[in-house]
Amino acid sequence: MAGEYSPAVKLLSAQMEAREKVRIAWKRDAGDLIDAHQFALSAVYAMIDRFSGRRFDKQPAAIEGRMSLTAQFIQGVDICETSISEGLYSQAAALLKQQLETIAAIDEFENDRRKDGKTPNIGKGITAGFGPIYGDLNGIAHVSRHELARQLITVENGDICAPSLIPQYNRDHARFLYGYHVYFIVEIGRQTARIFEEIFGKGFSKEESELNILAMMVLLREKVIELPSEVKKRFPNIDFDKPIRA
């Protein structure tokens, strides 16, 4: 009827309103994780911006591949953060899978193991030990586990328990996904630094390196991620066995 909103508009409006409420709830519960996100992203972007005006010769295909994948990763940071912060957890898990695959593909380029057209091998090289985490993300993204799928979309109201068409806030899922999102940004920053070291002989500045490490320290203090032992070796400046004070 004239003057009335269509059912589609009503649904989308309700979803947007719910997403805003979820974001407010997450901001309340996130602790310093939002700051960690800013630290990690600031470190990598400040470095890229610092080198962006420099001229350099045409690079080998492997470096061009690493640079292209890095750009793709950074383009997707906002949509991934939004999906987590606004309760779109299945969609966020799919994006995090892609982020982890991107990190793996960059590592394969870096170590001359990349095969064009092949899905990156999670569990080798820089992603050694991340197989279980990849499996968890896959379970959320493809709702292959019934109970998990039920938790993601079910709303309870008294005796009524049914799937919801609007996002539902889940603090535990948000912390798990956001924590690994921040860690993946930390890792892409370190990979990017190595690209610039190969091209220009310099990577992170002192301040950028400190921001990158600070993001990791927040993740450890908030206890939102469990890093494989292979990863811990890449952070010699952090004592993983020492308690971190709030």
Per-residue model confidence (pLDDT) at position 149: 52
Mean pLDDT of 109-130: 90
156 falls within a domain: yes
Per-residue model confidence (pLDDT) at position 106: 97
Instruction: Write the burial class of residue 163 (CB in 10 Å: 0-12 exposed, 13-18 middle, 19+ buried).
Output: exposed
123 falls within a domain: yes
Per-residue model confidence (pLDDT) at position 7: 95
Residue position matching structure tokens 């009335």 = 4
Per-residue model confidence (pLDDT) at position 246: 42
Q: What is the pLDDT of residues 24-56, one digit of tens each?
A: 999 999 999 999 999 999 999 999 999 988 877
Indicate if the pLDDT at residue 244 is higher than 50. no
Indicate if the pLDDT at residue 231 is higher than 90. no
179 falls within a domain: yes
Name the pLDDT band for 199 (thresholds 50, 70, 90).
very high
Mean pLDDT of 178-204: 96
Indicate if the pLDDT at residue 232 is higher than 70. no
Q: Structurally, how many domains does the chain consist of?
A: 1
Name the pLDDT band for 163 (thresholds 50, 70, 90).
confident
Indicate if the pLDDT at residue 103 is higher than 60. yes
Q: Which of 188, 186, 215 is nearest to 68 (CA)?
A: 188
5 falls within a domain: no
Taking the complete model, does pTM exceed 0.85, yes or no? yes
Q: When comparing pLDDT for 84 and 164, which is higher?
A: 84
3 falls within a domain: no
Q: When comparing pLDDT for 47 and 223, which is higher?
A: 47
Q: 63 lies in which domain range?
A: 15-232
155 falls within a domain: yes
Q: When comparing pLDDT for 228 and 181, which is higher?
A: 181
Instruction: Write the burial class of residue 162 (CB in 10 Å: 0-12 exposed, 13-18 middle, 19+ buried).
Output: exposed
Helix boundaries (H) for the chain:
7-29, 33-51, 61-75, 77-85, 89-110, 131-141, 146-153, 171-200, 206-222, 229-232
Which SS3 state, helix, strand or coil, does residue 57 take?
coil
What's CA 165's distance to the chain center, in Å? 25
Average pLDDT, the chain: 87
Number of other CB atoms surrounding residue 173 within 10 Å:
20
242 falls within a domain: no
92 falls within a domain: yes
Q: Under a CB-based contact definition with an 8 Å cutoff, are residues 50 and 209 in contact?
A: no
Indicate if the pLDDT at residue 152 is higher than 90. no
Distance, CA of 77 to CA of 75 (rounded, Å)? 6
Per-residue model confidence (pLDDT) at position 17: 97
Q: What is the pLDDT of residues 56-100, one digit of tens each?
A: 778 889 999 999 999 999 999 999 999 999 999 999 999 999 999
Helical axes 61-75 vs 77-85, angle rounded to 10°: 30
Q: Under a CB-based contact definition with an 8 Å cutoff, are residues 154 and 164 in contact?
A: yes
Q: Which of 63, 59, 67 is nearest to 112 (CA)?
A: 63
Q: Which of 219, 125, 171 is nearest to 22 (CA)?
A: 171
Q: Which of 197, 170, 204 is nearest to 46 (CA)?
A: 204
Distance, CA of 43 to CA of 183 (rounded, Å)? 13
